[in-house]
Homo-oligomer: A and B are copies of this chain.
Amino acid sequence: MPKADTRIQKKNQAAILSAALVVFSQFGFRGSTLDQVADEAGLSKPNLLYYFPSKEAIYTTLLARLLENWLEPLKNIKADGDPVEELLAYATHKLEMSQHFPRESRLFANEIIQGAPRIGEVLRGELRELLGELAIVINGWAEAGKIRPVDPYHLIFSIWAVTQHYADFDVQVRAILGDADPFEGAHAHIEAMLRALLTPAGSNP
């Protein structure tokens, strides 16, 4: 077990996690093998296990790292900003994550579909609390007449659903759109949808 992080350790750990992301995001935890990960990382299987104690450890390291990036942007929604623009910025950020880090999204999707055996606690704990606070903010906006009244939870669900769809169902989206870039149209559509839903009646820019 390495204590300090030498150059070579950093390099190999990064290579392993990167390879593991590729493999786990496609096949899920149980469907992936250490040989696949080792192959993808260009290392031997025993060498993987020199840097990580087990397959499980690689996977959970990946998940933990992901959860940080997952929860953080939620906290950036400012109660004193313009409501529609705040929510739009969040949705745009999530869509860009789908565009640039689709594997992370698929890894997460795999874990949730599997029943979230390793992150259920986080979902029922930190995430739930975070969303509770956000719901209060959104409800405040609605009561102040700054947005139309909406269910804050289902609003967030729909933002998650639509943005992650472009990463998780990438193959399907591209099968239908052909050569066109999905993300341009996606952004415009999501913006239109959120503005239509949220902009209070009587607002004419």
A interface with B by C-beta (< 8 Å): 25-32, 106, 109-110, 112-116, 120, 123-124, 127-128, 131, 148, 150-151, 153-155, 157-158, 160-162, 164-166, 168-169, 171-173, 175-178, 185-186, 188-190, 192-193, 196-197
Give the oligomeric copy count. Answer: 2
* A171/B30 contact (C-beta < 8 A), A158-B162, A162-B162, A176-B131 known: no
Choose among B109, B151, B197 the residue that contacts A188 (Cβ–Cβ < 8 A).
Answer: B151
Interface of A is mostly: helix
Choose among B26, B32, B189 the residue that contacts A158 (Cβ–Cβ < 8 A).
Answer: B189
Closest Cβ–Cβ distance, residue A112 to chain B (whole Å): 5
Choose among B116, B185, B193 the residue that contacts A175 (Cβ–Cβ < 8 A).
Answer: B116
Choose among B123, B168, B172 the residue that contacts A123 (Cβ–Cβ < 8 A).
Answer: B172
* Residues on B with beta carbons closer than 8 Å to the beta carbon of A166: 157
Choose among B28, B131, B172 the residue that contacts A31 (Cβ–Cβ < 8 A).
Answer: B28
